[in-house]
């Protein structure tokens, strides 16, 4: 039997009404799907959402605010970015089979 597992996933967040934009104008976030070591680190260290975002997100594509390309490192400086960080962390947990309640 051959099994293929995705190591990364890309999703389109709803932050800043992103899903209402034309497909070519939407920004996307690519993140690493959590593995056993990621889970162990999460549980042992009770990491914050921001730390999980920084650890798991590989890229933010096509997000431009005030003519500045936003990266995974610069998103933290954007007002209300915690909404995007929370949405992304929920997506990571959902696709890594760990609920918010289990994380906390």
Query: In this structure, is residue 2 part of a structural domain?
Result: no
Higher pLDDT, 44 or 101: 44
Query: In this structure, is residue 83 part of a structural domain?
Result: yes
- pLDDT exceeds 60 at position 5: yes
Strands (E) across 1-104 are located at: 8-11, 28-32, 57-61, 64-65, 68-69
Query: How many folded domains does the chain comprise?
Result: 1
**Could you report the per-residue pLDDT of 52-88, keeping only the tens digit for each?**
999 999 999 999 888 999 999 999 888 889 999 999 9
Contact 57, 31 (CB under 8 A): yes
- pLDDT exceeds 80 at position 31: yes
Output phi, psi for 21, to 5 deg: -80, 165
- The predicted pLDDT at position 82 comes to 92
Query: In this structure, is residue 68 part of a structural domain?
Result: yes
Query: In this structure, is residue 62 part of a structural domain?
Result: yes
């Amino acid at each position: 039997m051959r099994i293929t597992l995705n190591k990364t996933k890309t999703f389109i967040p709803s932050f800043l009404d992103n899903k209402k934009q034309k497909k070519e104008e939407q920004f996307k976030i690519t993140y690493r799907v959590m593995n056993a070591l990621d889970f162990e680190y999460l549980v042992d260290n009770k990491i914050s959402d921001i730390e999980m975002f920084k650890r798991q997100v590989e890229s933010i594509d096509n997000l431009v605010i005030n003519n500045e390309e936003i990266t995974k490192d610069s998103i933290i400086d954007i007002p209300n970015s915690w909404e995007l960080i929370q949405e992304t962390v929920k997506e990571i947990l959902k696709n890594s089979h760990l609920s918010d309640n289990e994380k906390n």
